[in-house]
Chain A
Amino acid sequence: MVTYIVRRLITAALILLGASFLVYLLTASSGDPLEEFRASSAPNKQQLMDSRSELLDLDTPAPLRYFKWLGGAARCLVPFAGSCDLGKNIAGQPITEALGFALVQTLTLVTGATILAILIGIALGIITALRQYSALDYGVTFMAFLFFSLPIFWVAVLLKEYGAIGFNDFLRNPEIPLPVALGIGAVAGIIVAVAVGGAARRRVVSGGMVFLAVSLILIYFSVVQWFRNPGLGPVVIAIAGVGLAFAVTLLVSGLKNRKALQSSLIVVGLGVVAYFAVQPLLNQATAVMIVLLGVATIGVGVATGYLMGGYDRGQSMRAAGITAFLVGGLILMDRFMQAWPSYFSNSRVRGRPIATIGAGTPNIQGDFWVLTLDTFTHLILPTTALILVSLASYTRFTRSSMLEIMNMDYIRTARAKGLSERSVVMGHAFRNALIPIATIVAFDIGALIGGAVITETVFSVRGMGFLFLDGIMHTDPNPVMGVFVCVAVTAMVFNLIADLAYSALDPRVRIKA
């Protein structure tokens, strides 16, 4: 095992050396860094060219410059020495500094999108696999192909036009005309009727109920101008919490496990009490406090499950912990909604909250909630675009993985010994279907850091992809190399992790050292 890892790492280091040499030469030969001065008629033209030649060390041939760069980069391997030197970019800024800034931007942009895409994609994949060849399956498959065929820059422009500009116009006077409300309700109802499955009667009833509920809610929203002053309030949190408690228990342990259901419901009760208790505390919130509160919430949930016990203590703890987390999320969402009016009327936002470019409103003032809302409103469009285009791969992959598992003999055995469908799907099939998905997820997380060049360009986020593209455009090898090394190292490390995880999760795959 250790031999295997060491050998993989040595190979990776050699590959990295070779590839970085090629990348350096390619970047250096991709253009002329002095081009912008050659055409200029500035009196100090020669001086400008000389200073840039000196900055980029253009008098040294590119292969030699690579080894100079390598010498500086090698010092990054010395831990805690702080002597890391990846050179400077064309503006004279050290690359290490630029990389740090870009990394933060990129990670805020892609992390949420990737996590959401993975969660939604896996959920959709499992549902379509369980309903193979149903209308839902065909619909999702078609949508997956469609989204997979969409160029992201095209989606981005559409989102900007309809998601941002259109929604901001709508917020100016948030009234939903009656036909529109009924239309949205009808669409939602039809989708549910198709998705539910089962007998025709069941479909019609569920579809009709969803149609009524959605239409009524929209009409209510329109009447009270909810989109201007959104909020959930304790009553909605309590109702939604009870629903969540049932749903989570159904998935985690099945409703037959009364103790699990009771602990989830108790947690919902605690959550509603906590809603009132934490409001003053939340007014002085910081990011660290939110994280601590989140951890505490899960802790309370798990503890409740532990105290309730039952024949399977672990299931109660899991169900209550997940419910607690979700109810905590509802309370947090409510607090964000409370901050919405003040964000909306902020002098910098001026009633157009959904932003089309950038990573934040410049010079915005406000408390934690307003600032976080500002980040959210800037993230929502790129995140949606990224989710749309990356959803397809997860859905299709999970579906095929799940279908393969459902044909396995041990699934038949599990059914034959009389396990409930829930326990067959969640306990036996889903877990094994996750094994190949885990490797894909590891690959994708490794690729996260590279950022999404096109998304960053379209939405003017100055992340890793932007840094890379900018370096190429100015024939500036140092930022290109910095981004390349970061991306390649993480990709290779996560590749290794994916392989190791695969052999750890699936005992049939053994690593031969």
Chain B
Amino acid sequence: MSQPTQQEEFLAEQSHPRPPGAPVEEEAKGLSQGQIVRKRFLGHSGAIAGLFIFAIIFLMAFTSVGWAGIPGWWKYDHLDVSPLVNDGVPTASLWPPAWGEHPFGQDRIGRDLFAMTMRGAQQSIIIMLLIGIIAGLIGTVVGGLSGYFRGWVEAILMRITDVIIIIPVLLLAAVVAQSVNRRDQGGWFSGFAASNGILILGIFLGLVSWVGLARLMRGEFLTLREREFVDAARISGASNARIIFKHILPNAIGVLIVNVTLTMSAAILLETALSYLGVGVKSPDTSLGLLISQNQEAFSTRPWLFWFPGLFIVLICLSINFIGDGLRDAFDPRQKKFNAKKARGTKPAGEPDKVPAPAGGATTADGSAGD
């Protein structure tokens, strides 16, 4: 009996894209684009939950063990060795709520796991933000220039993109890791790299992860530059810079923000994976991936050393993914509202899901077909 009902539902959804009472006009009335997007984003409970969790982790990671020389409120840092309390078992308990001496436990030599995890979360967040900013900037510039100017600019930039896209990230990370390790061989780069390994890693990963974004932005610019309002601006004498910054970029910003977010969530996993393989963050500094890699052998004796860093990776990545999902729903003009209660009454618009890897199967097909 379910088939006919389902069919009726679909038909109902089809025939009444804007059923009476659906707050479509009200939603958009007197609001700017930014206000509509903000309203939609705030109505997306998953994204708000993600934002909330991420904010808590962010605050905890940066205030607890301190950052860039500023001391934090937690009594240990990731290098301090203290005597084992209760054989290193976590002292935190949910009921009765207690924090204890070492809430996440200690490792074999007595380092505080809470401090190490917080330090690792800091590193992951810094790398994530660096990758997001750098990849977003380069991707927008390269994609925008090649999409707007076409011709030889596009040919050169896109061939460079093609070259970079097939060079394995692992190899680049290994090269960076090696140059960081060569402290003794002098040179300003090695010196800087040795003291700021995490920044170097983030910058390098940012320098290679813009390629997907560049392709997407190129596609976006290609479609937008053919639109009437761009023609109108050009006829009224607007310069290229004005067209790009005032007319095209604001319309492409949604795609950009959404995909930067998704790049950032992939960046977290990339950093942890590289650290796990030994070419990312190196000891004595620590990162979430490195903690797991160091402690996986001890799973049967000290499982908490494995659980807490993993939990934080998953929490950070999951919250960023949910924020990205919320942003996509908010920016997609076809999407009326991603809200379970109201969704029944509105048209189920196809979301251009770019969640993970399939970033632009169709884009590439169209793009290269249009060559």
Contacts and interface: CB of A to CB of B under 8 A. Distances in A.
Given A30-B174, A145-B322, A157-B296, A401 B350 contact: yes
For B166, B296, B352, the residue with the greatest tally of chain A CB atoms inside 10 Å of its CB is B166
Interface string B1-17: 11111110011001000
A469 B277 contact: yes
A503 interface: yes
Given A26-B171, A439-B361, A510-B369, A151 B340 contact: no
Given A19-B166, A151-B289, A145 B171 contact: no
Contact of B365 (A138, A161, A422, A509): A509
B344 interface: yes
For B5, B276, B361, the residue with the greatest tally of chain A CB atoms inside 10 Å of its CB is B361
Given A22-B167, A472-B170, A154 B313 contact: yes
B14 A407 contact: yes
Given A498-B361, A499-B365, A145 B321 contact: yes
A396 B353 contact: yes
Contact of B159 (A15, A23, A484, A499): A15
Interface stretch (B96-104, B142-150, B241-249, B265-273): B265-273
For A145, A439, A453, A487, the residue with the greatest tally of chain B CB atoms inside 10 Å of its CB is A145
A275 interface: no
Given A146-B318, A469-B170, A499-B364, A397 B355 contact: yes
A492 B162 CA distance: 10
Nearest to A130: B6
B173 to A, nearest CB: 9
Contacts of A415: 7, 10-11
Secondary structure at the A interface, as helix, strand, loop or mixed, is: helix
A421 B6 contact: yes
A412 interface: yes
B23 interface: no
A45 interface: no
Contact of B314 (A18, A146, A473, A509): A146
Contact of B358 (A18, A393, A422, A454): A393
A329 interface: no
B130 interface: no
A407 B14 CA distance: 7
Nearest to B324: A145
Contacts of A151: 269, 272-273, 276, 289, 292, 310, 313-314
Nearest to A402: B350
Contact of A23 (B14, B167, B269, B300): B167
A157 B369 contact: no
B370 A512 contact: yes
A440 B369 contact: no
A382 to B, nearest CB: 15
Given A154-B310, A415-B10, A468 B265 contact: no
Contacts of B322: 145
A19 B163 contact: yes
B325 interface: yes
A2 to B, nearest CB: 15
Interface in B1-57: 1-7, 10-11, 14
B168 interface: yes
A8 B368 contact: yes
Contacts of B260: none
Contacts of A405: 350
B349 A407 contact: yes
Nearest to B4: A421
A406 interface: yes
A397 B174 contact: no
For A22, A406, A412, A472, the residue with the greatest tally of chain B CB atoms inside 10 Å of its CB is A472
Interface in A5-64: 8, 11, 14-16, 18-19, 22-23, 26-27, 29-31
Contacts of B159: 11, 14-15, 18
A153 B292 contact: yes
B356 A148 contact: yes
Contacts of A487: 166, 168
A15 B164 CA distance: 9
A457 interface: yes
Given A19-B167, A30-B178, A454 B6 contact: no
Contacts of A412: 14
Given A439-B361, A453-B277, A31 B350 contact: no
A401 B5 CA distance: 23
Nearest to A420: B3
For A19, A149, A473, A499, the residue with the greatest tally of chain B CB atoms inside 10 Å of its CB is A149
B355 A132 contact: no
Nearest to A394: B358
A306 interface: no
A338 interface: no
A469 B171 CA distance: 8
B63 interface: no
B343 A133 contact: yes
B91 interface: no
Contact of B356 (A15, A19, A396, A450): A396
B10 A406 contact: yes
Contacts of A148: 317, 321, 355-356
A82 interface: no
B273 A393 contact: no
For A153, A401, A492, the residue with the greatest tally of chain B CB atoms inside 10 Å of its CB is A153
A503 B11 CA distance: 31
Contacts of A420: 3
A356 to B, nearest CB: 11
Nearest to B310: A154
A440 B361 contact: yes
Given A198-B1, A439-B362, A495-B364, A157 B355 contact: no
Given A149-B317, A453-B170, A491-B166, A503 B350 contact: no
A397 B170 contact: no
B64 interface: no
Given A149-B321, A440-B358, A454 B277 contact: yes
Given A29-B175, A407-B350, A472-B174, A392 B355 contact: yes
A403 interface: yes
B80 interface: no
B369 A512 contact: yes
A91 to B, nearest CB: 19
B355 A393 contact: yes
Interface of A: 8, 11, 14-16, 18-19, 22-23, 26-27, 29-31, 130, 132-133, 138, 144-146, 148-154, 157, 161, 197-199, 202, 392-393, 396-397, 399-401, 403-407, 412, 415, 420-422, 436, 439-440, 443-444, 450, 453-454, 457, 468-469, 472-473, 480, 484, 487-488, 491-492, 495, 498-499, 502-503, 509-512
Interface of B: 1-7, 10-11, 14, 159, 162-163, 166-168, 170-172, 174-175, 178, 265, 269, 272-273, 276-277, 279, 289, 292-293, 296, 299-300, 306, 310, 313-314, 317-318, 321-322, 325, 340, 343-344, 347-353, 355-358, 361-362, 364-366, 368-371
Q: Nearest 4 CB-CB pairs, A to B? A: A404-B350, A149-B317, A400-B353, A393-B356
9 contacts: A15-B163, A23-B167, A154-B306, A161-B300, A439-B362, A440-B357, A498-B365, A499-B365, A510-B369
Given A151-B313, A154-B292, 14 more contacts: A15-B159, A22-B163, A23-B167, A29-B175, A145-B321, A148-B321, A153-B276, A157-B306, A198-B1, A412-B14, A439-B364, A454-B277, A469-B170, A498-B364
